[in-house]
Chains A and B, each alone.
Chain A
Amino acid sequence: MQQKISSFIGRRRNWSIPYVLFLGFFVVVPMLLIAYYAFTNDEGNFTLANIRKFWVHPEAMNTFIYSVVVALITTVLCILIGYPAAYILSKMEARKARLLVILFILPMWVNFLIRTLATVALFDFLKLPLGEGALIFGMVYNFLPFMIYPIYNILQKTDQNLIEAAQDLGANPRQVFLKTVLPLSVPGIMSGVIMVFMPVISTFAIAELLTINNIKLFGTTLQENIYNGTWNYGAALSLLMLLMIGLTALLNRDGNSKAAEEGGLI
């Protein structure tokens, strides 16, 4: 018996079992619960009322569309502002670049509420009005480092040989960038997009604080529903978000774990 136990532990692949169980209980089951709650009503009976409510109710739908627009604007702004920054950093000499990269990444590590409140403080200090402009500013401010870092990472890793090959084949510096460096950096851009787009839709704190609760994003809607006890509707809305995520995940199959690695790690 002892032998059996120790050889069971000996098989390294069995070490994954605790985690698999953990994942099952804390990840898979909760997600299934979302689906369950989405399709049931207060008494626990199966219903499509929650889903219908979303389609029929203009409020949630409008918030959703508005959030997507805000997310798109933020993402595009982050790319437009962040790519040049990442590019400049990647061309700098390693030692200088490293210090600057730290400065750009640093905000990511400061508590996100503190960062948001700092933005509020800035606006207060400059006597600027809070509202839509502040919202966009706050979003870009918050998420810009998340776009710069993966793009910087991938630009840095560009094979020098490929750049030389392009030069050898007749490309001037501008052409080298447009035809070789830029296309090869797209996975980095995708990483950044993944880390910006969905989070923008689903945060509520930033919207709440930077617009004194005037503007609601989809994340706010979700949060409100849970707080008010209308879990079923909240679950239905969550299901909608999950569908969106699922779609983007399918469209970007290989990029996903790479994105997580590039984006999350030091």
Chain B
Amino acid sequence: MIRRLLSSSYLGILLLMLYAPILIIIVFSFTEAKVLGNWTGFSFKLYTSIFRGGVHHSLTGALWNTLIIGLVAAFGSTILGTMAAIGIHNLQPRAQKAVKMVNTIPILNPDIITAISLFLLFISLGISQGYATVILAHITFCTPYVVLSVLPRLRRMNTNLYEAALDLGATPFLAVRKILLPELRPGMISGFILAFTLSIDDFVVTLFTIGNEGLETLSTYIYADARRGGLTPELRPLSAIIFVVVLILLLIINQRAAKRKL
């Protein structure tokens, strides 16, 4: 009995500490005060001003960029990664080991190393930095995760399924499309979601490959903003919205996973 009380309170205190900062932001997103900590009465003004106010065009611009880059990078890495996983799965053991090792490099590297390495690449080749370089950079660090999402499903899959399709008259292409890919779909979906999340959340790699033309993503915007001195008040409702969206997403994913297990 006591043990359960202690355990629950431990978790409770921990959760409280984890969420205190976020809760403060959410609470104070409902007030107009410029400085965090002042309560000037309940108001939705900050929420509405995100979506209207001309001053904050750059914030909405940054948001759009983030989403677009995220989607493109996620799609790109999922396609590239799935193809790669299928290929890797069928390589000879030695080649497989080598490719897997190189594949792990972007995962193990701290993002600043990846950022610097890609920065040097683009500089050396004289490629001007902008949308394209950011997307390429994101695909670089996302695809390995997609590969690692899909490979286990390949490993667990019955090897005879593909051959059975061939035996029954399907061309290799058709066999892949109708037999292989549906089996891999769960892995592809989690890979996609993972890639999207990594891309949206990314800061350092984006910073080093985004160039000086004024292109901004959410992360770079917030960083620039913070350096200028303090949180733009509009970031509070934005954070609150992001938080709620992520919460709902996670709950949905969890429900689906739970239903599948049942």
Interface positions of A (Cβ within 8 A of B)? 6, 9-20, 22-23, 26-31, 33-34, 37, 81, 84-85, 88-89, 95, 98-100, 102-107, 109-115, 117-122, 124-125, 141, 144-145, 194, 198-199, 201-205, 208-209, 219, 222-223, 226, 231, 234-235, 238, 241-242, 245, 249, 256-257, 260-261, 264-266
Which residue among A12, A37, A85, A110 has the maximum number of chain B CB atoms within 10 Å of its CB?
A: A12
B179 contacts A by Cβ under 8 Å: no
Question: Do residues A209 and B112 form an inter-chain contact, with CB atoms below 8 A?
Answer: no
> Which residues from chain A contact B222 at a C-beta distance below 8 Å?
111, 113-114, 117
Q: List 29 A-B contacts (CB under 8 A).
A: A10-B172, A12-B90, A23-B99, A29-B121, A34-B120, A85-B10, A85-B11, A95-B258, A99-B254, A106-B247, A106-B250, A111-B222, A113-B219, A114-B222, A117-B25, A120-B226, A141-B18, A141-B21, A208-B227, A223-B204, A235-B120, A238-B116, A238-B117, A256-B104, A257-B104, A260-B145, A261-B148, A264-B194, A265-B149
Check A13/B87 contact, CB under 8 A, given A114-B222, A222-B112: yes
B253 contacts A by Cβ under 8 Å: yes
Question: Do residues B15 and A112 form an inter-chain contact, with CB atoms below 8 A?
Answer: no
Question: Do residues A109 and B197 form an inter-chain contact, with CB atoms below 8 A?
Answer: yes
B83 contacts A by Cβ under 8 Å: yes
Bound complex: CA of A10 vs CA of B166, how far in Å?
A: 11
> Which residues from chain B contact A16 at a C-beta distance below 8 Å?
83-84, 86-88, 90-91, 99
Partner of B239, one of A10, A85, A114: A114
B110 contacts A by Cβ under 8 Å: yes
B1-41 contacts to A (CB < 8 Å): 7, 10-11, 14-15, 17-22, 24-25, 28, 36-37
Partner of B194, one of A118, A222, A226, A265: A265
Partner of A106, one of B21, B99, B246: B246
> Which residues from chain B contact A109 at a C-beta distance below 8 Å?
197, 201, 246, 250
Question: Do residues A113 and B36 form an inter-chain contact, with CB atoms below 8 A?
Answer: no
Main secondary structure of the interface of A (DSSP, over half): helix
CB distance from B248 to the nearest CB of A (A): 11
CB distance from B236 to the nearest CB of A (A): 8
B181 contacts A by Cβ under 8 Å: no
Question: Do residues A234 and B116 form an inter-chain contact, with CB atoms below 8 A?
Answer: yes
Question: Do residues B194 and A30 form an inter-chain contact, with CB atoms below 8 A?
Answer: no
Question: Do residues B190 and A265 form an inter-chain contact, with CB atoms below 8 A?
Answer: yes
> Which residues from chain B contact A6 at a C-beta distance below 8 Å?
171-173
- Chain B interface size band reads 35 or more
Check A30/B118 contact, CB under 8 A, given A102-B254, A105-B250, A202-B112: yes
> Which residues from chain B contact A245 at a C-beta distance below 8 Å?
108-110, 113
> Which residues from chain B contact A105 at a C-beta distance below 8 Å?
250
> Which residues from chain A contact B123 at a C-beta distance below 8 Å?
231
> Which residues from chain B contact A115 at a C-beta distance below 8 Å?
21-22
B218 contacts A by Cβ under 8 Å: yes
B200 contacts A by Cβ under 8 Å: yes
B235 contacts A by Cβ under 8 Å: yes
> Which residues from chain B contact A266 at a C-beta distance below 8 Å?
190, 193-194, 253
Bound complex: CA of A104 vs CA of B140, how far in Å?
A: 28
* Nearest-neighbor residue (CB-CB) of B222 within chain A: A113
Residues 107-139 of chain B, each 1 if its beta carbon lies under 8 Å from chain A, else 0: 111111110111111011000000000001001
Partner of A102, one of B106, B109, B250: B250
CB distance from A215 to the nearest CB of B (A): 16
